[in-house]
Structure 1
Amino acid sequence: MQIEYSDDMATYLNAADVVVSRCGATALHEIAALKKRAVFIPLPKGTSRGDQVENAAVAKKHGGIILEQPKLSPENLLSAISLAEKPMTPICENPNEKLLKLILEKAK
């Protein structure tokens, strides 16, 4: 199912078996935190600031499959989806504990 826009992405992400997404930092972290199988299609450097290409390296390190936009075709997308066999690993383990520790350190 393709979702153009929704205010309720959490519902769709939770229901998804595999997520196909651009590679913005927020999307990357949300998908990894939910441990979803994922294919990322980062915007090329000429189209964006280049951050999505950098984020793609992080996504790959955590189990995401990267499909570069110039190689995007129906066949390559299906192939990339079939390669997304394992869920991503979270980029930040125990984020709540780390945030609490940081807040307490700064509050001293």
Structure 2
Amino acid sequence: MKCYLQLSVDEQKHRLHQRLERPDKRWKLTLDDLQGHRHFAERQASWADVLSVSHGNAAPWYVIPADHRWLRDLIVASLLAREFERLALDWPAHPAPFSHADLERMR
């Protein structure tokens, strides 16, 4: 399972603006971020190509809307929970407890 967290162009612009305007967020901003925003449409098209050629039944891609962090987190958590249920994992067998003699030997 692979998740692609997709921001809309408006949300990316908003987050970049916050990083420019707010000193507590400015440390996150790089020149690459600003240049990358100018090429948003081309990068989205490139990602679409990557996702289509690397998607498969064994490891599918899920495109997650990421404009709202709470919704992004809810969707990813739901996907993970579903995947863990599908795997039908079980707890390992509980080992026999240590005897007092075993504990003494470990000292």
TM-score, normalised relative to structure 1: 0.31
* Greater radius of gyration (CA): 2
TM-score (norm 2): 0.31
**Greater length-normalized contact order (CA 8 Å, ≥ 6 residues apart):** 2
Query: Is the helix fraction higher in 1 or 2?
Result: 2
